[in-house]
Amino acid sequence: MVQQIDPPVLPRTTPKRPSSPNRPGAVLAVSVGLIAVFVLWAAVSPTSLGDTMTTTMNRVAGSMGWSYLVVPLLCIGLLVYLSLSRYGDIRLGSNTSRPEYSTRAWLAMILSAVMGIGLISYGVAEPVSHFLAPPHALAEPETMQAAVRALQFSYFDWGPHAWAVFGVFGLAIGYSTHRKNRPGLVSPMLRPVLGRLVDGWFGKAIDVFAIIATLFGTTTSLGLGASQINEGMSRVFGLPVGLPVQIVIIAVITVLFTLSALSGVHRGIRYISEITMGLSVVLAIYVFLAGPTSFVSNLFFRSVGQYANEFFATSLITPSTADDLQWMQWWTYFMMAWWLSWGAFVGVFLAKISKGRTLRQFVAGVLGVPSLVFFAWFTIFGGTAIKMDMDGAGIGEATTANVNSAFFAMLEQLPLAQVTAVVTVVLVALFFISGADANTYVLSMLSSKGSLTPSRPVLTLWGVLTGTCAVLLLVVGGLAALQQAAMLSALPFTLIVALLGISLVKEMRQDPEFKLLRHAKLAELPAAQGRAEREESGS
């Protein structure tokens, strides 16, 4: 009789649930913790925070300020080289990938979601400020040469130097995400330089830096936007100008851009961006035709010529006196640091919307077109205001008294002032929403392990934190505190963007499109060999 043997009883195990790829991890926890400490400090002792930020910023500007100039210039060189080289045909994606958005929609999202508020906040204020006090005393104040210098340095602050920083981040992250199928984070792109360090705490620290810099870079824009909306509503509806009103504006806009972010890029950001671009073009054409058209046209060509002629000298100019250093902190250093602090945010956003585009198309759309658009915008609005001030309209006095009033003071000198003021307020609000909308999406993506579809709770969390930090920085020290936060958070990115550039070049050289040909002799290539044989037979 055969004895039946029962099968062994195995312990029952519960299968492990696969971890969600977009589930927040340590990066979110550490980022929110550090931001909570900052919020608590600002709430308990705003004076102490303001003094600490001012002291630290003065030290950084005096010892490391030059790095804010060198890095953007190197970014321009890198992008120009890559676009003109054989790598220009590489696509951000597979070789068969094609763009998801039309060129018009793509450019509209780039322009409005990236630096839209700056067009209003600084479009008149910066050129007029430089006209009244020319940078580095390079011209006599309130002269034609001062007007040219004013536009030259406005181009410097808002032109290729800014967009090149965004371009390097965007290209590196887009290549890493779409062509290498890596998470949408900054740290994985640094693997060619840092190796396995990006897999541990060091890589997570880089992503935390990216989140904090992005947050403070964006809160600067939110503070500027709230001030502009407040000023416009004061002129149109008679509302008081002050911090309480600006806090209410930030609260309302925070709700709107958070809801827009929850709706996704395809609907929220895209449609808002296209509307803002349409309104911007209409307003610019109106001011150009209704204002001093001939003066503005001539000023444009003179200023572009001056900018091109002194490109490298302007790009590397450093302060020579204590007063010059203070001026640099308020203008050039702040602007370059602002772009660096925005680098990760803009880079991730550009990567998201640029899948399928070639590297050459990307550089043209991110470096070339926006620079020309900003040149034209600053010339039209800034040049018109300068001519009005030359004619005694008092635009300079209004700008000196309150930079937020400069744009509206210029519009008041033209017909249909009430209509254009309303259009401007709507523009600022839409720029405000689209920029903060994109920021919320990117912060959520960076804190969700690079997922392109972050969860709704995370999106909501970052929307609320962005609005809260903008309010607290305004309370602590107004625009100066916003600027200092952006500059300090950008300092680590002077190194990170340099490493990104090196990593990008290494990745390009190893791209499968070219890897097999790097060591090939010309005679070994079939096409070249065929041509050589035909030439020999013909001779």
Q: What is the DSSP string of 249-284?
A: HHHHHHHHHHHHHHH-IIIIIHHHHHHHHHHHHHHH
pTM for this structure?
Answer: 0.82
| Predicted pLDDT of residue 14 | 42
What is the distance between the alpha carbons of residues 406 and 350, in angstroms, rounded to a whole number?
31
Q: Which of 385, 408, 383 is nearest to 395 (CA)?
A: 385
Asked if 344 contacts 186 with a C-beta cutoff of 8 angstroms, the reply is yes
Alpha helices in 175-266 (DSSP H): 191-194, 201-237, 243-263
| Predicted pLDDT of residue 69 | 92
- Check residue 136 and report its DSSP letter: G
What is the distance between the alpha carbons of residues 181 and 262, in angstroms, rounded to a whole number?
24
pLDDT by position in tens, the chain (length 539):
444 444 444 444 444 444 454 556 788 888 888 888 877 887 777 777 777 877 877 777 777 888 889 999 999 999 999 999 888 888 998 888 888 888 888 888 887 766 667 788 888 999 999 999 999 989 999 999 999 999 999 999 999 999 999 999 899 888 988 888 888 788 888 888 888 888 888 888 888 888 887 787 777 777 777 887 888 888 777 778 888 888 888 888 788 777 766 765 555 566 777 788 888 899 999 999 999 999 999 999 999 999 999 999 999 998 888 888 888 888 888 888 888 877 877 888 888 889 999 999 999 999 999 999 999 999 999 999 999 999 988 898 888 888 878 898 999 999 998 899 889 888 888 877 777 777 787 888 888 887 777 888 888 888 888 888 778 767 766 666 666 666 777 777 788 888 888 998 888 888 877 665 554 444 455 555 555 455 445 54
What is the distance between the alpha carbons of residues 395 and 405, in angstroms, rounded to a whole number?
9
Q: Which amino acid is at 308?
A: A
Q: Which of 98, 103, 423, 92 is nearest to 274 (CA)?
A: 103
| Predicted pLDDT of residue 242 | 81
User: First-to-last CA distance in the chain?
Assistant: 96
Token pair 């003179």 is found at 302
Asked if 57 contacts 329 with a C-beta cutoff of 8 angstroms, the reply is yes
- Check residue 525 and report its DSSP letter: S
Q: Which of 492, 499, 26, 452 is nearest to 213 (CA)?
A: 492
Handedness of CA 166, 170, 171, 176 (dihedral sign): positive
Could you tell me which residues are beta bridge partners of residue 91?
358
Could you tell me which residues are beta bridge partners of residue 187?
none
Asked if 441 contacts 261 with a C-beta cutoff of 8 angstroms, the reply is yes
Q: Spell out the CATH class of 26-38+72-313+328-509.
A: mainly alpha
Q: Which pair of structure tokens corresponds to residue 272?
A: 């808002």
What is the distance between the alpha carbons of residues 228 and 460, in angstroms, rounded to a whole number?
25
Q: Where in the chain are the domains? A: 26-38+72-313+328-509
**3 state SS of 366:** helix
Q: Is 262 exposed, middle or buried (0-12, 13-18, 19+ CB in 10 A)?
A: middle
Q: Half-sphere exposure of 164 toward its Cβ, with a 13 Å CA cutoff?
A: 25
DSSP letters of 333-362?
Answer: HHHHHHHHHHHHHHHHHHHHH-TT-BHHHH
